[in-house]
């Protein structure tokens, strides 16, 4: 079954919600592993070579969270790189997906800064869908 654009948007919204919650609590749940796997699959399905490093970093993050011990010196740089790459990936997105990808990039960067001791607090508000009316 081919994924629809709406399914991708739901996955993006879910990732934003997850990242703006308590990551230490989420790391103990299967939900984080499932979320990361959906994200990896969505990126692979796009078949865009520009997303290769995103997939590699997401797989590394998934493996780290699955390892049981959370090391902020590993997690923060991965999230920072994912934030920058996701922000760039927003250029490839269209319609209602584009603002979600851009928002996810912002949230990833803010979470990375927060983990590194910065003051940034991720904003968990989800982007509004573009109106189909003129």
pLDDT (0 to 100) of residue 67: 79
The CA distance from 16 to 33, in Å, is 15
pTM of the model: 0.75
The CA distance from 78 to 62, in Å, is 11
pLDDT (0 to 100) of residue 38: 87
From first to last of its 134 residues, what are the pLDDT tens digits of the chain? 345 777 877 877 777 777 776 665 655 556 778 888 888 998 898 898 989 999 999 999 889 888 777 788 888 899 999 999 999 988 888 888 888 889 889 988 988 888 888 655 566 565 665 544 33
Task: Compute the chain's Rg from CA coordinates.
Answer: 14
Domain range annotation of the chain: 5-115
The CA distance from 15 to 48, in Å, is 20
């Amino acid at each position: 079954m081919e994924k629809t654009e709406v399914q991708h948007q739901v996955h993006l919204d879910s990732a934003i919600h997850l990242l703006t919650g308590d990551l230490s609590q989420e790391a103990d749940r299967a939900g984080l592993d499932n979320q990361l796997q959906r994200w990896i699959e969505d990126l692979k399905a796009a078949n865009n070579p520009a997303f290769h490093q995103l997939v590699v970093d997401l797989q590394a993050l998934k493996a780290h969270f699955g390892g049981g011990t959370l090391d902020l010196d590993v997690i923060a740089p991965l999230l920072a790189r994912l934030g920058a790459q996701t922000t760039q990936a927003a250029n490839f997105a269209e319609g209602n997906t584009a603002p979600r990808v851009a928002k996810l990039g912002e949230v990833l960067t803010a979470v990375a800064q927060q983990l590194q001791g910065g003051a940034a607090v991720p904003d968990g508000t989800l982007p509004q869908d573009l109106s189909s009316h003129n």
